[in-house]
Every structure is written in C-alpha cells, then in structure tokens.
Amino acid sequence: MNKIERANRYIDLIRVKSNEALLFLSLGKDSLVLLDLIYPKFDRIVCVFMYFVKDLEHINRWIGWTKAKYPKIEFVQAPHWNLTYILRGGLYCVPNPKVKLLKLADVVKAMQLKYEVYYTFLGMKKADGMNRRLMLKGYEANGYENNGLCYPLADWTQMDILAYMRQHGLPEPVRYSLKASSGVGFNLDCMLWLKENYPQDLQRIYRVFPMSERILFEYNNKKQIAESEIEEEEE
C-alpha cells in the first residue's frame, strides 16, 4: 500500500464515523494536499485559516484560488494562537498583560464547538521534526487519530508532498525564502519578500505592529555600513 492509499485509508476510517470535517488550512503545501485528499469524501468541510494580520492581499489571492477550486468548503478565519504571545509579550507592539495565552488545542476546541464538527484534520508529519515524530508515533496504532484530531499525512515526507502536488496539478504556495516554507511572520526573509512583491501588505503589517519597521530598518543600516566598509577598502 503506497502513502496515498494509506492516507486515504486513515481518512476513510473517519468518514465512516462522520460526513463532516474541520481542516486547519495554513495554505501551505501540507494542508493543501490534505484538503485535496479529503475534499471528495466529506459532505461538509470547514477550513480554518489562522491569520497573523488579517486581509493581506497576497493571502487573500490564495484564499480566492482555494475557494474556486474547492467550492464546497466553508472557509473561516481565526486569529493565530501565536498572536496571544506576541500581543501579551509586546513583540513589535505595546504589551497587553490582559491577553490570555492560547495553544493550538484551544483554537481547535473553539472551532469544534462553534461549527459543531468533531473530527479535525491537521497536516502535520513525522518528518517535520523530532517533537512531531514522537507525538505522531503515539497515535499510529489508532490510524493517526487522537481525540478527534486526525493526521493522515503523518508518514509522508516533503518529497511525497511535492510529488503529489505535481501529479495533481496543485500550484506551489507562497515561499518567502528558499528555506523551509513557513507563514507570514516577523522574519527578515518574509519582510524582504513583501517589500519586493506586496509592499501594501507590508504597510498593513506595520499598521498592526508599528515597531516591526525596525526589522528592515536595521537590515538596511547593516547593509549600508557593510557597503561603505567595502568602498573604503577598495579606495
């Protein structure tokens, strides 16, 4: 049995229990492959996208593509649980000690209650790292399902994901750098990509997190200093 067949078997084990599913959709490779796999099987699929800053144009374009390709889905958005740490700690914003710290499990529980769907699909893989490998290994005997959380891609590698995307004509999501893909965040690669490709989205981030302007400011400063040192050496 190949990995696609095995993933389908894990999905089918859930389908016999419910015709509804929640999917946490980051719009990255893994979650798009998982959506493609579960889409034909369930009558109702609620996709939850956790945003860092709402209404970024380059993200909205992906949301539009996803809704057009999978018209049956209900697409909903929620603040990313990581934001609670950012807002409370005051990372590039004024700290707010009243913010209650959340984990992914809290968002999952809230979405399950709100949309009255129990079985929740997540695109995590053992290949993502040691912690994921240990966690998912514990669920293997139960078809990678634990208390309603389902991980059909647990055994897949990045190569498997890319091969599936090629075979099924799925476009490559946004990559902010050549490193491992991750979502929008306060990292230099992401900020440089936005400045080059979607400067209006960079401004939207600055409006929510004004102090994040420091990231590119400091980068440009270091670059100027390095360039002037090279010029001095050449003279």
Per-residue pLDDT reduced to its tens digit, 32-46: 999 999 999 999 999
Q: Is the predicted pLDDT of residue 148 greater than 70, yes or no? A: yes
For position 125, what pLDDT does the model report? 97
Give the residues across from 74 on adjacent strands.
Answer: 46
Task: Give the full edge-to-edge strand order of the sheet including 74-79.
Answer: 74-79, 44-51, 20-24, 120-121, 149-150, 145-146
Give the residues across from 145 on adjacent strands.
Answer: 150
- Spatial separation of the C-alpha atoms in residues 76 and 25, rounded to whole Å: 10
Same domain? For 193 and 91 the reply is no
Q: Of the candidates 10, 38, 14, which has an alpha carbon nearest to the alpha carbon of residue 25?
A: 38
Measured CA distances, 41 to 3, 36, 44, 145 (Å): 17, 10, 9, 17
Same domain? For 38 and 149 the reply is yes
Chain segment 50-96, per-residue pLDDT in tens: 999 999 999 999 999 999 999 999 999 999 999 999 999 999 999 99
Q: What is the mean pLDDT of residues 208-216?
A: 96
- Going by the DSSP 8-state scheme, the letter that residue 52 receives in this structure is S
Same domain? For 87 and 25 the reply is yes
Residue 58 has φ and ψ, to the nearest 5°, of -70, -25
Query: Residue 220 is part of which domain span?
Result: 176-235
Same domain? For 41 and 83 the reply is yes
Give the residues across from 146 on adjacent strands.
Answer: 149
Same domain? For 116 and 202 the reply is no
Same domain? For 128 and 229 the reply is no
Structure tokens that stand for 215 in this block:
């990231």
What are the residues whose beta carbons fall under 8 Å from the beta carbon of 70, sequence distance 6 or more? 35, 39, 45
Same domain? For 111 and 185 the reply is no
Chain segment 84-105, per-residue pLDDT in tens: 999 999 999 999 999 999 999 9
| 29 within 8 A of 162, measured Cβ to Cβ | yes
- Spatial separation of the C-alpha atoms in residues 198 and 209, rounded to whole Å: 17
Q: What is the mean pLDDT of residues 7-29?
A: 97
Same domain? For 98 and 199 the reply is no
- Spatial separation of the C-alpha atoms in residues 32 and 49, rounded to whole Å: 12
Same domain? For 183 and 93 the reply is no
Q: Is the predicted pLDDT of residue 114 greater than 70, yes or no? A: yes
| 49 within 8 A of 26, measured Cβ to Cβ | yes
For position 1, what pLDDT does the model report? 84
- Assign residue 127 the CATH number of its domain: 3.40.50.620
Q: Give the pLDDT band (50/70/90) at residue 181.
A: low
- Spatial separation of the C-alpha atoms in residues 74 and 198, rounded to whole Å: 27
Same domain? For 134 and 213 the reply is no
What are the residues whose beta carbons fall under 8 Å from the beta carbon of 42, sequence distance 6 or more? 15, 18, 19, 20, 21
User: What domain count does the chain have?
Assistant: 2
